[in-house]
Chains A and B, each alone.
Chain A
């Protein structure tokens, strides 16, 4: 069983719990076996970052991106490395991010929206079935 995602300096992670839920940050240092020191830089266009703090690994989901930083880098260098690797862009384009946004939208639907969604799904299924034709009898 080979591991692909490691906790390491510069590993980008998604925060799953707490006030910064849904934001991404980089692991700057490891405090001990349960906690890391993380920081997510504030990028322009109002993307609020994650202030430097300790975070439990249980609250983090490791992502397949890393940035090149030394341990306990200052915010300025972290932001520079983050922008150089275009992490924000890669994250926005990733499937996980899109799924998260979609699930947030789903939660905020009202009854009429859910009705519209159901009708749209029905329409899509009908189109697929028309193309596939009747299922062959085995």
Chain B
């Protein structure tokens, strides 16, 4: 499963198709993070199959709805609980991200898991994503931004001037005061 680009949050609802007219099958709802709604539906069946006796062939998806962030301009601290398969076993993890939207935080999570743990997207299950109040954040890289009078310089700025000649006699300028 390719989880490229930015992920979106979908609310997928589905149920087992009742064999008889009178039967009523329960409706299941899941919050899925996926690059598009097609992958979202696929992941819905993947998870539902693991929990319940229903699969794509005997079930139907009632609705797939993209969930948009309520306040996309408010900076939030997200706690992400996940479970992933490493080469030798499966582990739980808790990660924190500081971002504007849930999707962006989960996208960062997938990228970070790939980078730090070589975990592929299909090996990662996002168990829970929740906005965590600043006082309850556990990770130092998130806590360090918990400062209403934050102030820092930008030392040694590496400017990406791709039109710069390959060979030059002058050292680049990295200090912009």
Q: Give A residues with C-beta under 8 Å from B.
A: 1, 3-9, 29-32, 37, 52-54, 57-58, 61-62, 70-72
Contacts and interface: CB of A to CB of B under 8 A. Distances in A.
A8 B75 contact: no
Contacts of B150: 7-9, 30, 71
A72 B176 contact: no
Interface of B: 73-75, 98-100, 141-142, 145, 148-155, 160, 175-177
Contact of B75 (A5, A9, A57, A72): A72
A6 B153 contact: yes
23 contacts: A3-B155, A3-B177, A5-B153, A5-B177, A6-B152, A7-B154, A9-B148, A9-B149, A29-B75, A30-B150, A31-B98, A32-B99, A32-B141, A32-B142, A32-B145, A37-B73, A52-B73, A53-B73, A54-B100, A57-B154, A62-B176, A70-B148, A71-B150
Query: What does DSSP make chain B's interface, helix, strand, loop or mixed?
Result: loop
A74 to B, nearest CB: 11
Contact of B74 (A61, A62, A72): A72
A3 B75 contact: no
Nearest to A17: B160
Contacts of B99: 31-32
A71 B154 contact: no
Contacts of B75: 29, 31, 37, 72
A53 B141 CA distance: 22
A25 to B, nearest CB: 14
A15 to B, nearest CB: 14
A62 B148 contact: no
A7 B98 contact: no
Nearest to B74: A72
Contacts of A3: 153, 155, 177
A39 to B, nearest CB: 9
Given A30-B145, A31-B98, A31-B99, A7 B73 contact: no
